[in-house]
Structure 1
Amino acid sequence: MAFKLTDYEAYDFANRRHIGPSPREMADMLKVIGFKTLDDLIDATVPEQIRQKAPLDWGPAMTERDALFHMKQVASKNKVLTSLIGQGYHGTTTPAPILRNILENPAWYTAYTPYQPEISQGRLEALLNFQTMVTDLTGLDIANASLLDEATAAAEAMAMAKRSGRSKANNAAFFVDQYCHPQTIEVIKTRAAPLGIDVTVGDPADLEAGAVFGAIFQYPGTYGHVRDFTDQIAALHEHKAIAVVAADILSLALLKSPGEMGADIAIGSTQRFGVPMGYGGPHAAYMATTDKLKRAMPGRIIGVSIDSRGNKAYRLALQTREQHIRREKANSNVCTAQALLAVIASMYGVYHGPDGIKAIAQSVHRKTSRLAKGLESLGFKVSPEVFFDTITIEVGALQGVVMAAAVNEGINLRKIGNDRVGISLDEQTRSETIEAVWRAFGGDMKDDSEANREYRLPEHALRESEYMTHPIFHKNRAEAEITRYMRRLADRDLALDRAMIPLGSCTMKLNATVEMIPVTWPEFGNLHPFVPADQAAGYLEMIDDLNDKLCQVTGYDAISQQPNSGAQGEYAGLLTIRGYHAARGESHRNVCLIPTSAHGTNPASAQMVGWKVVPVKADDKGNIDVADFRDKAEKHGDNLAACMITYPSTHGVFEETVTEVCALTHQYGGQVYIDGANMNAMVGLSRPGDIGGDVSHLNLHKTFCIPHGGGGPGMGPIGVKAHLEEYLPGHPEYGTAVGPVSAAPFGSPSILPVSWAYCLLMGGEGLTQATRVAILNANYIAESLKGSYDILYSSDAGRVAHECILDTRPLDESAGVSVDDVAKRLIDNGFHAPTMSWPVAGTLMVEPTESEPKDEIDRFIRAMLDIREEARAIEEGKIDPENNPLKNAPHTVADLVGDWDRPYSREQACYPKGAFKVDKYWSPVNRVDNAYGDRNLICSCPPMSDYEDE
């Protein structure tokens, strides 16, 4: 049959990019489901009463060339100056091998959170390196991998101190060093207010240790002071209070570590370890603590365990902190880490090693010393006397003149008060930069790096202990060596560049290459978050345009881009509702109704804003039990603050009672929070703001194509109705009355070009088609697997939304095959397992997304059908119930070539029907022993002999 151009007209606006199945394949899939057209399927799936009236329309979709040209024009409106503002953000150089082989490599940025450890061994090792580097530099016992930014890490440390401290002042105040970065102080205040924590900001010299349950100190301080907090920490410990140190990680190569001062917790940012400033993020924050506090630490921790053959294997440790288990009793609602950025920072440590890190720190300090000496020669008073990389200069009435002169030299300095200027140098600072700063202050000198090599570090705080002694930080000096190391780690993982990742509710869709290209443009990557607004005109134009499009998508009136994860978006949304109630004199409203099927971060977020969580039952079909909801709304009516619901439901169904639930909440004075996790089933078809939502967060790392990066970065902006707009999170840099939830004004803006490009490339019509095809793909899987697996929930019309739940519990009853067995057998087939045991224990929730072509979906279907037949062989007594392909999965190359005494063939073990024959993915380890890892908690790099044994 001759090729016809018309075959592709139906989705030409997608440019063969985001829509996986061709029109012909869609027609074939529709036949299987029993529909003639895609319109018919959508009409049968999405209730008429919630359908949006007008189509999405912001003009025609752009071609790749036009989109990149347009984005470059906007990006060029940003003025990229050399920013010496400091305040926790620094210029840094991403080593070229790391830039090309990790940041720009889909094998790293398209991976999912390592909940399936067997297929995550590469990034788990990289994150274990991160933890080891952090524990060494901070002098503490254990670190996580990682948190969102330094300010939120500080707030998490405050909450951790409140939980862990045994001070008699446990209900009193938390002390904050007045020399902490301003954004850190403000985020701490935001987090403290709903929890009833008083925040005392003051000079550490005036600390009353008996009056607080904990304290945080900045090291070095935001204005450059380097203080040894040993005495203050000892005083805190006398009163059983907790000491936190926010430490610049590069300075710790030269300065006494927080652990050596006696600190209980250390936090900070690893941004200056090779991660561009990006106008504020994303960057990986770190947290380290003592062994006795490890179970109170939020975030993810990588641990060392063994597999079923006794070989070393990595995994996520301390799993009991997961929000889905602890819900409102969770330590935190932290869900997204900054895994990709932590990997970059860890590779920066591996690349440079301890000697290189120390050399960079020494160079930065010597440059700062030369700068200070020159300014002093010009007659300016420079403080402090001793410093690491930051100085403060008294300029009096000349402040405006100096700042303007610096900008004319292409340099941003920090305005402090009305009479001082702050300067922070970094590894990118050149002699020309120092000379330009001197000119801004009226000097005309040449920088002589050889003649001026003095140090102005405090003698009492110099570091004497070793760090980064593990061989992993010493063996990758040559570029060939580290490039091969990164490649080996990537080859151990399974990411979207290899296969479909059909995770329910996680929306692992295409992160198109063209959308990723602008992220590493210097116009987006090299801006400090606190530059003057006129230098960020391109960023502000992009954010405004993206916000306008997201308002049209959601039906809301305003968007805040500040939350830098979905969990942060939940928290910010609930804070917005809380502020609204308080402004109306209804601060007593503190009850939040949450369905039992809700995401685990929902109740944790409600707890963090000081609310009481009241669970609402689900009915036999998995929908919200409206009668139970009505009873509880009425019972708590006077105190009802909000309800939190997910739409479509967590069970993958468009519930027709959603408008009734929203109306009941409003009837009793509450606000409706609609979790945006499942927006990929709504875009262009239904808007949360139209069906009764007052606020929603959007997972840009799901619906709008920002890659997951192995567990972060993410963005969770919130949309609100007009009556809530004035209560959105603000930022001190913009003089707003409402406090911030993240360190930077716009969260992690350097990844927003991905979502913006997605909207430009697809247009409103394309985004709507993406939603329609996501629903098609999910229904095709559900229909194809019916009879072999029960589809747990569907609408009255028998349809699912964009995901479906496969019930594998009957296999456990008939054949002893657990949901874990099915998940691990899918690894042999070359797939990441769907979401396991959530929202229903013992089931798999499958979401194929619109990106997956029919061939890949069919391969998954073959794999699931083959697994069912293997279970049937157990049921019929044809194979040993304990020694079979399902129980022994995943199978490795060592299994294939080693001695074989199993009652099934090597071919059946290693080449099941879903696996590729030539491009077979091999799990690097057998099934990981989680129980062993919990009993033997090791969270830093194992000895080098283990690597040599491999």
Structure 2
Amino acid sequence: MTTPTEFQFTDYQPYDFANRRHIGPSPSEMADMLKVIGYSSLDAMIDDTVPSSIRQKEPLAFGPAMTEREALDRLRETANKNKLLVSLIGQGYYGTITPPVIQRTILENPAWYTAYTPYQPEISQGRLEALINYQTMVCDLTGLDVANSSLLDEATAAAEAMAMAERVSKSKATAFFVDADCHPQTISLIQTRAEPLGWTVIVGNPFTDLDPVDVFGAIFQYPGTYGHVRDFTGLISRLHQTGAIAIMAADILSLTLLKPPGEMGADIAVGSTQRFGVPVGYGGPHAAYMAVKDMHKRSMPGRLVGVSVDARGNRAYRLSLQTREQHIRREKATSNICTAQVLLAVMASMYAVFHGPRGLQAIAQQVHQKAVLLAKGLEKLGYKVEPETFFDTITVDVGHMQGVILRSAVAEGVNLRKIGETRIGISLDERTRPATLEAVWRAFGGNFNIGDFDLDYRLPKDLLRTSEYLSHPIFHMNRAESEMTRYIRRLSDRDLALDRAMIPLGSCTMKLNATAEMLPITWPEFSDIHPFVPADQALGYREMIEDLTQKLCDITGYDAFSMQPNSGAQGEYAGLLTIRAYHLARGEGHRDVCLIPTSAHGTNPASAQMVGMKVVPVKAKENGDVDMDDFRAKAEQHAANLSCCMITYPSTHGVFEETVKEICDLVHQHGGQVYLDGANMNAMVGLARPGDIGSDVSHLNLHKTFCIPHGGGGPGMGPIGVKAHLAPYLPGHVSTDGRSGAVSAAAFGSASILPISWSYVLMMGGAGLTQATKVAILNANYIAARLKGAYEVLYKSKSGRVAHECIIDTRPLADSAGVTVDDVAKRLIDCGFHAPTMSWPVPGTLMIEPTESETKAELDRFCEAMLAIREEARAIEDGRSDRTNNPLKNAPHTVEDLVGEWDRPYSREQACYPPGAFRVDKYWSPVNRVDNVYGDRNLICTCPPVETYAEAAE
């Protein structure tokens, strides 16, 4: 033991926050990894990997990296600039109470928010069950047969429903009717979607302006944006007589009291589940729903969870029908939807489980009663309240007093909705308290107490709901918090997310979502702001968005950004709309040809067809590069009509192609624009800027490169950056500037998750972001080097390097050992890993992207697992292992496999504890290999009968 006089200060340096929070390998580990690859320094490897012709000249410089405390203080200071009033604006967004058990154990739980899309169903059974609960909830409440899980927002869902109606309608008409009582943002998105496709949108009163002969479909709002609750049964019947499709945009909570769309004959119902426990968050993220009649289920966009069986015949869930259809059908895909709002759909489904049918009905009744009380007080003051019957929304004609009343309401701490020049809209919700009603009465000049009026109902008697809903036992479980917590925990334990292990998916960038970045999203100053509040109440949001925009411009070399697209695919769509608008403004609307390499993401051609472009595929060479001879020939052939090209950089094959500038120059020479897909931006930040390379527009996957978590398949954000000449044509929004061309329901998309990306760039700084990119490339090259000899890396640069991902070829194993890429993927589950991207962009291969967040130990664990799998295949090749009964063919192995007699020609230990698997903390797959064919042949997309659920507590 030392005495005080012997104590000496060390030279220990403070923790390097920027370089160690997000960057997995330590400096000494990086040195060891570089030796394996064959370099003496990280910069030497980067110089050998990223072409000098595209390297940015100046380093990123937006100040030093902040510590976590400094960044959170900056976020708190910014959040406090938002004014937190009670918003009764409605228009599809409502106050809701997130049960704390759901907030803490789902929204704030990395076991839920770091999961990937459930493409590997065996390790996604928890979230798949939650999603099938969601689908069941939607089907029951809408009275329709099949629901997806889910879409981006209500307005996007309405636009998708219109496109679906056009596909399935028997009418030859090219017009679509929109109820004037639809929410304004819904009308705007429908108009945006229809115009490039040549469809006419008719907006009007459906009872006086709709002629079913003239349209292929129609959409009605229920209840209407101004509060009307109307029966559409007769109109729907008339539409069906002409072969047209009927769509209803329905408020999910109102359907606990009102006749559901399916009972009116609707073919499709859409809406938002936001008010089921998901904060408004200045516009998102929220899960939208779509439900359809059974006959239309195979035409429905988005993801559909179905029930199948595993290899033992036990029930197992999986994605059905549309799984990654964009990559299969490409420009013929029914939609470019790639991101679903899974995390939010899970929250909404748990809200229904938490409250049950009686609880939801009670909430709806209370909301309605409060609306009636408010109406009575306003009527006593002499105002005319419309409509006569309503659910939660009323409209009041106040004449020239509109401005005075709106200002008085704000002074009372309440936002009301301005409608035209003389009317005010008021929508009540679950959070509305008696004091709020009294404040509204004071704003209108009254001084009433809540007890001055009797409770009453003003629902239309002929539209009251009589059918049952949410009858499945899961919605009747004992809702004690202990049971809810355990149910949510049981589901999360069935899944494999980033909080357990690396998810090495190529082109998906499953990187760390730091806890400090996640904290602000549930602060009320961010989560409880209505998207249509006056601008002076969202100054904090505006400050954050402006600063993040500027930083993204610095990172990309673009001049302007739109934060509106709320997914990567929506970003593609918005970028192509911007290019199209640019050509139209220059009198070159005939430019409609889009060149897309065959290796591009499947959403690229799907997005192009959505804006009315003609897709011309461009060949790829054997090494994965764009075939420049074919590209040049196609560009010249279509020069007169060339609109744009879509490329991914680094390439989809994980290589920095040397010809990228030539591609950009060629397109510009022929009058086109360059869309550079930003999915692989994780390999470019701080090293190269798309805007400098020659690109005109890109989307960025903030839910990947900039740390917004994937959430099991969403939320996402896909803002687009453009050069200055395209800036005037960026998407507008009905609520902010009156421009058309909205691509999401809210002006800034899923704004409440932007604090994640903003805090990420603040805490990393320019140097930290650049180092992260370098290490992402290091980690990918380290894996490629370690697997060399066991597997062939398909695509490399001239120097033998890959970018941030590499594709390894497992096809030879199919010939030599009968081992498929599926077998490798399922065996990795036994090792405790999510498989890399399977069979894309090359069938039968694995695309691996480790990201910068993974430590050397985790990379080595993965490599050991992959090398052991190769040895198991070699045992089959050598005849030491049976060709059909072996660990690879039987993977994944479950605890149930260990029960009873063991009759397999390999040991239990080899089955369950292969190299890479943890002994103590092993992840056990809850099901054996899922039978995909059975699931599609026997399509069941709602909760199956379950005997294991607890008896109803009611």
Q: The TM-score by the shorter chain falls in which range?
A: over 0.9
Letter aligned with residue 536 of structure 1: A
State how 1:131-530 maps to structure 2 within 5 Å.
131-169=135-173, 172-206=174-208, 207-319=210-322, 322-448=325-451, 452-530=454-532
TM-score (norm 1): 0.98
Aligned equivalents of 2:121, 2:738: Cα separation in 1: 44
Tell me the secondary structure at the aligned position of residue 60 of structure 2.
coil
Tell me the secondary structure at the aligned position of residue 319 of structure 1.
coil
How far does the alpha carbon of each residue in 1:825-864 deviate from its partner, in whole angstroms, 9 at most, with x for none? 0000000000000000000000000000000000000000
**Does residue 84 in structure 1 map to residue 88 in structure 2?**
yes
Aligned position for 2:551: 549
State how 1:861-876 maps to structure 2 within 5 Å.
861-876=863-878
Aligned equivalents of 1:574, 1:79: Cα separation in 2: 36
Aligned position for 1:117: 121
Q: For residue 12 of structure 1, report the CA deviation from its aligned partner.
A: 1.6
Tell me the secondary structure at the aligned position of residue 614 of structure 1.
strand
Aligned equivalents of 1:4, 1:644: Cα separation in 2: 58
Structure 1: gaps (5+ residues): none
| Corresponding residue pairs, total | 944
Aligned position for 2:28: 24
Asked if structure 2 preserves the Cα contact closer than 8 Å seen for 1:803 and 1:847, the reply is yes
Aligned position for 1:626: 628
Aligned equivalents of 2:301, 2:949: Cα separation in 1: 29
Tell me the secondary structure at the aligned position of residue 690 of structure 2.
coil
Asked if structure 1 preserves the Cα contact closer than 8 Å seen for 2:19 and 2:771, the reply is no
Q: For residue 945 of structure 1, report the CA deviation from its aligned partner.
A: 2.3
Q: For residue 636 of structure 1, report the CA deviation from its aligned partner.
A: 0.3
Aligned position for 1:679: 681
How far does the alpha carbon of each residue in 1:507-565 deviate from its partner, in whole angstroms, 9 at most, with x for none? 00000000000000000000000000000000000000000000000000000000000
Letter aligned with residue 562 of structure 1: Q
Tell me the secondary structure at the aligned position of residue 262 of structure 2.
helix
Q: 1:4 to 1:874 in 2, by over 3 A?
A: farther
Aligned position for 1:711: 713
Aligned position for 1:723: 725
Asked if structure 2 preserves the Cα contact closer than 8 Å seen for 1:168 and 1:239, the reply is no
State how 1:563-712 maps to structure 2 within 5 Å.
563-712=565-714
Asked if structure 2 preserves the Cα contact closer than 8 Å seen for 1:350 and 1:476, the reply is no
Aligned position for 1:70: 74
Letter aligned with residue 330 of structure 1: A
Aligned position for 1:843: 845
Aligned equivalents of 1:902, 1:618: Cα separation in 2: 44
**Does residue 753 in structure 1 map to residue 721 in structure 2?**
no
Letter aligned with residue 378 of structure 2: L
Asked if structure 2 preserves the Cα contact closer than 8 Å seen for 1:138 and 1:266, the reply is yes
Aligned equivalents of 1:785, 1:362: Cα separation in 2: 62
Aligned equivalents of 1:7, 1:20: Cα separation in 2: 20
How far does the alpha carbon of each residue in 1:282-327 deviate from its partner, in whole angstroms, 9 at most, with x for none? 0000000000000110000000000000000000011366100010
Asked if structure 1 preserves the Cα contact closer than 8 Å seen for 2:303 and 2:323, the reply is no
Tell me the secondary structure at the aligned position of residue 518 of structure 1.
helix
Q: 1:809 to 1:229 in 2, by over 3 A?
A: same
Aligned position for 2:937: 935
Aligned position for 1:896: 898
Q: For residue 204 of structure 1, report the CA deviation from its aligned partner.
A: 1.1
Tell me the secondary structure at the aligned position of residue 673 of structure 1.
strand
How far does the alpha carbon of each residue in 1:783-803 deviate from its partner, in whole angstroms, 9 at most, with x for none? 000000000000000000000
Q: For residue 6 of structure 1, report the CA deviation from its aligned partner.
A: 7.3
Asked if structure 2 preserves the Cα contact closer than 8 Å seen for 1:8 and 1:23, the reply is no
How far does the alpha carbon of each residue in 1:171-224 deviate from its partner, in whole angstroms, 9 at most, with x for none? x21000000000000000000000100000000112111111000000000000
Tell me the secondary structure at the aligned position of residue 73 of structure 2.
helix
Tell me the secondary structure at the aligned position of residue 605 of structure 2.
helix
How far does the alpha carbon of each residue in 1:694-753 deviate from its partner, in whole angstroms, 9 at most, with x for none? 000000000000000000000000000000000000001122434200000000000000
How far does the alpha carbon of each residue in 1:743-795 deviate from its partner, in whole angstroms, 9 at most, with x for none? 00000000000000000000000000000000000000000000000000000
Asked if structure 2 preserves the Cα contact closer than 8 Å seen for 1:673 and 1:693, the reply is yes
Letter aligned with residue 118 of structure 1: E
Q: For residue 382 of structure 1, report the CA deviation from its aligned partner.
A: 0.3
Letter aligned with residue 450 of structure 2: D
**Does residue 818 in structure 1 map to residue 811 in structure 2?**
no
Letter aligned with residue 512 of structure 2: L
Tell me the secondary structure at the aligned position of residue 699 of structure 2.
strand
Aligned position for 2:803: 801
Q: 1:385 to 1:794 in 2, by over 3 A?
A: same
TM-score (norm 2): 0.98
Letter aligned with residue 70 of structure 2: D
Letter aligned with residue 527 of structure 1: I
Letter aligned with residue 24 of structure 2: G
Q: Aligned Cα RMSD in Å?
A: 1.3
Asked if structure 2 preserves the Cα contact closer than 8 Å seen for 1:321 and 1:331, the reply is no
**Does residue 945 in structure 1 map to residue 947 in structure 2?**
yes
Aligned position for 1:93: 97
Asked if structure 2 preserves the Cα contact closer than 8 Å seen for 1:129 and 1:346, the reply is yes
Letter aligned with residue 727 of structure 2: E
Q: For residue 14 of structure 1, report the CA deviation from its aligned partner.
A: 1.7
Asked if structure 2 preserves the Cα contact closer than 8 Å seen for 1:298 and 1:321, the reply is no
Asked if structure 1 preserves the Cα contact closer than 8 Å seen for 2:473 and 2:949, the reply is no
Q: 1:947 to 1:316 in 2, by over 3 A?
A: farther
Asked if structure 2 preserves the Cα contact closer than 8 Å seen for 1:728 and 1:738, the reply is no
How far does the alpha carbon of each residue in 1:643-675 deviate from its partner, in whole angstroms, 9 at most, with x for none? 000000000000000000110000100000000
Q: For residue 946 of structure 1, report the CA deviation from its aligned partner.
A: 6.2
Tell me the secondary structure at the aligned position of residue 215 of structure 1.
strand
Q: 1:14 to 1:498 in 2, by over 3 A?
A: same
Aligned equivalents of 1:681, 1:453: Cα separation in 2: 61
Aligned equivalents of 1:33, 1:296: Cα separation in 2: 48
Q: For residue 16 of structure 1, report the CA deviation from its aligned partner.
A: 2.5
Letter aligned with residue 798 of structure 1: G
Aligned equivalents of 2:154, 2:446: Cα separation in 1: 36
Q: For residue 620 of structure 1, report the CA deviation from its aligned partner.
A: 1.4
Q: For residue 947 of structure 1, report the CA deviation from its aligned partner.
A: 5.5
